[in-house]
Chains A and B, each alone.
Chain A
């Protein structure tokens, strides 16, 4: 009971509610949902749908950041995966082959990052910067410099279709969220990742396969990036090596940070990272529908993000606790045996 109310008191939830309310004030139809052609439509669904790729990136990014790393290459890996999938279906391969190959490419990219970080002991930011720059070049080589368009129905369905009334990207993101959360919290993986993030040396000394976990985290981030890349390609029915996933790595990192996972590694929460991604998208949508000149978008966004980060800083938490001393001590007394 305390735990449940704790979740709703999270600053992330408060921030999301505030952003949604703001959107509602600007645009009274914001919460309206309609059912048409077997699926839901509405601004709220749009927010989820547009936010899905970043949410998926953020799931992988959380694992990497929890190990005290960061992956700057996920945007470029999206472009690579999109290029692989598009080129293969255009070349006449069935969609299943294209999707599998794209996912494998993402996994491979992640493994590459992981090996650089783990065995060559490179700093994560530098190691993944390599692929961030080179990856787009690689994607351009695959697409031979052009935008490869396709009409494969399966790929298009992944990007724009609906399942149980929800857009496919949302369904995929939710499924991934569920599976990953179960994987890390119903096994000891989560604790082990946190241990590696807090103290890699000590983790090795207690017998945790720290290197394997590190490589695994980067591989997983690459895999997630590939999923996001396929979705984006399916959405625009083509692979644009220059623009697919451009700058999305930064949104993903931001989503993780808003979700409360420290860049110093350790404690992480995948659901809160996904919430962070939704907050970012709700903000983007809100700014767009506000009618504010587009030039202001990025600055307004930056301002709101700073506000959110201040709200969830230890300083704010302390001030909050000082303001409401009664509330803080009361439940504790009750739970004391």
Chain B
């Protein structure tokens, strides 16, 4: 640490936080946290969900005011009242979800709120010319008159960065900018960030992806439970050390989930026989067995999610039947699927999973209550008991179960949804990207839970983009490509290279497998 600072010790850091404390109710979100960002460095901020990253960022960008400590800009203490003021002092922020107007042009978005005018009229030609110049510096040659929304998220993200840099220009805070980008787009974004670093900006980078931290950042600061674990120079640091800092325990991912399961499984639970829907998924046949995890691999848009939705009756199949315990039927609604003993954790937790304003307890018991019907209400005692049991079993960390579920971190919310289905004592669980957007610790816990449920005899279907994860827990893997089930892999075939080949199709085996840490 001393070495890293040695070269630039003369100039004060562009942005510095000293002994920051923040209290929500009785909960210390931050306690005595120090942080600094120097000119010409990318400083990664890491921590599990709930570690206090977002709170710290909100304080550094003026969205929240600290209860203790001070924020300094270029060595001068400042009182940041709101993000506008922070922007004026040179601190710009780009969030995970692009915060711009997608229905206005790129140029308008760049100059929103500060359009050059003449006689009160916006000088369209001028802003378009300037917008082109600005974006050229970011290696972006696009039609600035087109609606922002017509471009990919990656380009929107770069426009947002360009805007933030134009407005502020000293410190750029990137809050999980890569969450919704693919690999190529991430590389492009990283080029932009490196160019800005060379220009002497201080960049604060928040992400869940460790490999991205190592690819981009110079230093890393780790928070845990609202406290500072440490700030380290990344050169010479291993991923394991960083994970250890984040979790406070030695947890290598492979160790946490163990090797792949045996191919042995119990009797068949359900067969989806020729299920399909025109324009969504070609008819497929798939049998799930007791004590089995079937992994689903495939690129985004390959029909993975559509397949799960047909299997749970969210979308109606126009061909095929479900065979279960001697019964043959068509799924007409999720309610019917729930009654048949299915559970479904959807891909988009916020949109389709969580009842944000309802309590943790209500979120856990709601599926069981729906299955019991409206007339047979679970008493408060029963609810408390069920919520308590499953929250304990999944180690859901909530101050109490009457708090709104939206106050929990993403990983804990995902566990609440899992608990909700486990409470219905299901026979079949369909999990669509259960580990997306949650931190390393919760990630490993969810993978462990999947393994435990398999051992308990459940039939699971798990959709995931993370190949090493799918490989670790699947007895069998089906591969989707262009809305078709193109391969079914078992035993020896289950390894990332084979899966990638199947995803890419035999014709184009040029894709390399995901790097595993």
> Which of A57-65, A90-98, A192-200 lies at the interface with chain B?
A192-200
For B356, B374, B376, which residue has the most chain A Cβ atoms within 10 angstroms? B374
B339 lies within 8 A of chain A by Cβ: yes
Whether A191 contacts B369 in the complex (CB less than 8 A), given A205-B334, A205-B346, comes out as yes
On whether the beta carbons of B358 and A192 are closer than 8 Å, the reply is no
On whether the beta carbons of B358 and A188 are closer than 8 Å, the reply is no
B263 lies within 8 A of chain A by Cβ: no
A325 to chain B, nearest CB (A): 11
For B362, B366, B372, B375, which residue has the most chain A Cβ atoms within 10 angstroms? B366
Whether A188 contacts B369 in the complex (CB less than 8 A), given A205-B346, A207-B334, A209-B335, comes out as yes
For B333, B338, B369, B370, which residue has the most chain A Cβ atoms within 10 angstroms? B370
For B312, B335, B346, B420, which residue has the most chain A Cβ atoms within 10 angstroms? B335
On whether the beta carbons of A206 and B377 are closer than 8 Å, the reply is no
Which residues of A sit under 8 angstroms from B373, Cβ to Cβ? 188
A204 lies within 8 A of chain B by Cβ: yes
Which residues of A sit under 8 angstroms from B333, Cβ to Cβ? 204, 207
Report which of A189, A191, A201, A329 forms a contact with B366, defined as CB distance below 8 A.
Answer: A191
On whether the beta carbons of B356 and A199 are closer than 8 Å, the reply is yes
On whether the beta carbons of A187 and B374 are closer than 8 Å, the reply is yes
Which residues of A sit under 8 angstroms from B334, Cβ to Cβ? 204-207
CA distance A195 to B370 in the complex (A): 11
Interface of chain A, main secondary structure: helix
Which residues of B sit under 8 angstroms from A198, Cβ to Cβ? 355-358
B353 lies within 8 A of chain A by Cβ: yes
B91 lies within 8 A of chain A by Cβ: no
A222 lies within 8 A of chain B by Cβ: no
A208 lies within 8 A of chain B by Cβ: yes
Whether A206 contacts B372 in the complex (CB less than 8 A), given A188-B377, A188-B378, comes out as no
On whether the beta carbons of B376 and A188 are closer than 8 Å, the reply is yes
CA distance A188 to B371 in the complex (A): 11
- Interface 1/0 per residue, B338-357 and A, CB below 8 Å: 11000010100001111111
A267 lies within 8 A of chain B by Cβ: yes
| Chain B residue with the shortest CB-CB distance to A265 | B357
B337 lies within 8 A of chain A by Cβ: yes
CA distance A159 to B333 in the complex (A): 45
For A188, A201, A206, which residue has the most chain B Cβ atoms within 10 angstroms? A206
- Interface 1/0 per residue, A91-126 and B, CB below 8 Å: 000000000000000000000000000000000000
Which residues of A sit under 8 angstroms from B367, Cβ to Cβ? 206-207
- Interface 1/0 per residue, A176-188 and B, CB below 8 Å: 0000000000111
On whether the beta carbons of B346 and A206 are closer than 8 Å, the reply is no
Interface size class of A (residues with CB under 8 A): 20 to 34
A266 lies within 8 A of chain B by Cβ: yes
| Chain B residue with the shortest CB-CB distance to A262 | B357
B314 lies within 8 A of chain A by Cβ: yes
A284 to chain B, nearest CB (A): 33
On whether the beta carbons of B355 and A202 are closer than 8 Å, the reply is yes
- Interface 1/0 per residue, B357-396 and A, CB below 8 Å: 1100010001101111111111000000000000000000
On whether the beta carbons of A208 and B366 are closer than 8 Å, the reply is yes
CA distance A147 to B367 in the complex (A): 52
On whether the beta carbons of B377 and A187 are closer than 8 Å, the reply is yes
Which residues of B sit under 8 angstroms from A266, Cβ to Cβ? 357-358
B459 to chain A, nearest CB (A): 19
For A194, A195, A205, A208, which residue has the most chain B Cβ atoms within 10 angstroms? A205
Which residues of B sit under 8 angstroms from A203, Cβ to Cβ? 355
On whether the beta carbons of A186 and B377 are closer than 8 Å, the reply is yes
Which residues of A sit under 8 angstroms from B357, Cβ to Cβ? 198, 266-267
Which residues of B sit under 8 angstroms from A209, Cβ to Cβ? 335
On whether the beta carbons of B314 and A207 are closer than 8 Å, the reply is no
Whether A207 contacts B377 in the complex (CB less than 8 A), given A199-B354, A266-B357, comes out as no
| Chain B residue with the shortest CB-CB distance to A213 | B374
Whether A194 contacts B369 in the complex (CB less than 8 A), given A189-B374, A205-B344, A205-B352, comes out as no
- Interface 1/0 per residue, A218-255 and B, CB below 8 Å: 00000000000000000000000000000000000000
Which residues of A sit under 8 angstroms from B356, Cβ to Cβ? 198-199
Which residues of A sit under 8 angstroms from B335, Cβ to Cβ? 204, 207-209
- Interface 1/0 per residue, B94-128 and A, CB below 8 Å: 00000000000000000000000000000000000
Which residues of B sit under 8 angstroms from A192, Cβ to Cβ? 369-370, 374
Report which of B337, B355, B372 forms a contact with A199, defined as CB distance below 8 A.
Answer: B355
B22 to chain A, nearest CB (A): 16
Report which of A188, A195, A205 forms a contact with B372, defined as CB distance below 8 A.
Answer: A188
CA distance A250 to B373 in the complex (A): 34
On whether the beta carbons of A201 and B351 are closer than 8 Å, the reply is yes
On whether the beta carbons of A207 and B353 are closer than 8 Å, the reply is no
On whether the beta carbons of B370 and A206 are closer than 8 Å, the reply is yes
- Interface 1/0 per residue, A159-178 and B, CB below 8 Å: 00000000000000000000
On whether the beta carbons of A207 and B339 are closer than 8 Å, the reply is yes
Which residues of A sit under 8 angstroms from B377, Cβ to Cβ? 186-188, 191
Report which of A188, A199, A207 forms a contact with B338, defined as CB distance below 8 A.
Answer: A207
Which residues of A sit under 8 angstroms from B346, Cβ to Cβ? 202, 205
Supply 11 further A-B pairs (C-beta < 8 A) apart from A192-B370, A202-B353: A187-B374, A188-B373, A192-B369, A195-B362, A201-B352, A202-B355, A205-B352, A206-B367, A207-B337, A207-B370, A266-B358
Q: Which 3 A-B pairs have the closest CB atoms?
A: A207-B338, A207-B370, A207-B335
**19 A-B residue contacts at CB 8 Å?**
A186-B377, A187-B374, A188-B372, A191-B362, A192-B370, A192-B374, A195-B366, A198-B355, A198-B358, A199-B354, A206-B366, A206-B367, A206-B420, A207-B334, A207-B339, A207-B370, A207-B371, A266-B358, A329-B26
